[in-house]
Homo-oligomer: A and B are copies of this chain.
Amino acid sequence: MNQHTPVTIKDIARKFKCSPSTVSRALNNHPLINEDTRRNIQEYAQKVGYQRNSVSLSLLNQKSNTLGVVVPSLNQFHETAMIEGLQNILQANGYMMTICVTNESYTLEKEYVEKLMANRVEGIFLSVSQETYDSGHYQHLENILHRNIPLIFIDREFDGVPTNSIIVDDYWGAFTATEHLILRGFKRIAHLKGPNGLTVSEKRFKGYKDCLAKHQIAFDENLIITTNFKAESAIMPMHRLMSLENPPDGVFAVNDVVASAAMQVIRDLGFSIPQQVAIIGFDNSPFSAYMFPSLSTVNRFGKLIGEEAARLFLNNLNLQTKQNETIVLPPELIIRSSTLS
C-alpha cells in the first residue's frame, strides 16, 4: 500500500471483504456490530493510519452519533440532573452529547440549533429559553422538524410545535406544597417567588395563589418576596417579612437554595422551625435532606425527565410513523421536619 495515499474506508472494506458501511459502523462503535469484527477493523485501521474526516463524512450524510442538548442554564441542580439522566441512557447506547447553554437568550438558542443541525446531530433535546417564549418566535424549532431531526422538549415545551415532550407540572407542585402547609394548620403563608416574568416563577406563583383561594385564605401582597433564585436575594426581604407586626407562620420558597437562606434568617431572629414558622422548598436538591431542620420540598424528577426523554428518542428511532407524546410528570411532595411540628 502506498504510504502517501491516505487509507480510505473502501480500502479497509476490500481488506475485510465487507461493505464500507460495515467498516464505518465498526469504526463508530455501532451497537449492532459484532464485537470481534469491530475490534479487528479498529485495530487494522489504527495500524494503517486511517484518519476519519468527520466534516466530509457529515457532508455525505453519515451518522454523527451525536445528540444536541440545549438548556437555559446549568446553575440549578435540576438542569444537571436532567443531563445526568440523558447520559445514563444515551452514552450506554453509543451516543455522545453536545450541551449548549442559552442563558435564556432567543438569539443563542437559535444559533445553537442551527449549529447543531449543521453538525448533523441525530436528535435535539431542548428546554425553551424565556426570551423564546417572550418573542413568540419558533421557526428555528420547526426547522428541526422540517429537517426530520427528532426534537424532544425537556422540562419546558413550546405549545404548537408538534413533537415529544417531557415536563413536570410546576403549577401543581406549587399548589401541593402550599396545600400541605395549610393542611398542617399554617394560615399566613409567605411566598418567596422567582424572577418576575419567568414562566416557571409565574406558574408556581399561580399555584400558590389558587391554593389560597381554594381554602378561602385572602391573598396578601405584603407576603410576596421576589428573588433571583439565589440565596443572597432572600436575606434582606426575609428580615423585613419577619419584622412585620403580623409575620408569616409558613413560607413556600421557589427553590431549596432560597429556602435555606430564609431558614437562616428565621433561626437567627429566634423563631423556631417548624413550630412558629414552617417552610417548604422546591427541587429536592441533594443537600435539602441535610439542612437543619431537614427541608420539606417538591421533587421535580430531573434525572427521570432525562432518562424518559432518552427512552422516547430511542423508541421513536424504531417506529415507522413517529408518535408525538407529551408526558407530564406529577411532582412529588417530600415531607421532612421543616413542616412537621
A residues within 8 Å of B by Cβ? 52-56, 58-59, 66, 74-75, 80, 83-84, 87, 91, 96-101, 103, 108, 111-112, 114-115, 118-120, 230-231, 256-257, 260-261, 263-264, 267, 285-287, 289-292, 294
Indicate if the CB atoms of B87 and A231 lie closer than 8 Å.
no
**Complex contact B91–A108 (CB within 8 A):** yes
Closest Cβ–Cβ distance, residue A130 to chain B (whole Å): 16
Among the listed B91, B96, B231, which residue makes an inter-chain contact with A289, where contact means beta carbons less than 8 Å apart? B231
Cα distance A108–B84 in the bound complex, in angstroms: 15
Complex Cα distance, B116 from A54, in Å, reads: 10
Question: Which of B119, B264, B290 lies in contact with A119, CB distance below 8 A?
Answer: B119
Contact A101 B118, beta carbon cutoff 8 Å: no
Bound-state Cα–Cα, A293 to B101, Å: 35
**Residues on the B chain within 8 Å of A108, using CB:** 91, 96
Q: Which residue of B lies closest to A74 (CB)?
A: B80
Question: Which B residues are CB-close (under 8 A) to A100?
Answer: 96-99
Q: Is the CB of A291 within 8 A of B289?
A: no
List, sorted by A's number, 26 A–B pairs whose CB atoms are closer than 8 Å: A52-B118, A55-B119, A55-B120, A66-B115, A74-B80, A75-B80, A80-B80, A87-B103, A96-B100, A96-B111, A96-B115, A97-B100, A99-B100, A119-B119, A230-B286, A231-B286, A231-B289, A257-B287, A260-B287, A263-B290, A263-B292, A264-B289, A264-B290, A285-B287, A287-B291, A291-B291
In the complex, chain B residues whose CB is within 8 Å of the CB of A115: 54, 66, 96
Bound CA span A285–B286, Å: 12
Determine whether the beta carbon of B291 is less than 8 Å from that of A292. Answer: yes
Q: How far, in whole Å, are A118 and B244 apart by their CA atoms in the complex?
A: 61
Q: Are B83 and A74 in touch, CB under 8 angstroms?
A: yes
Among B98, B119, B264, contact of A294 (Cβ-Cβ < 8 Å) = B264
Least CB distance, A68 to chain B, in whole angstroms: 9
Assembly CA distance A66 to B111 (angstroms): 11
Q: 8 closest A-B pairs (Cβ-Cβ)?
A: A54-B118, A292-B292, A260-B290, A99-B99, A74-B80, A264-B290, A98-B98, A260-B287
Q: A214 vs B188: C-alpha distance in the bound complex, in angstroms?
A: 56
A257 to B56, CA, bound (A): 46
Q: Is there contact, CB below 8 Å, between A119 and B83?
A: no
Q: Out of B59, B111, B231, name the residue touching A55 (CB < 8 Å).
A: B59
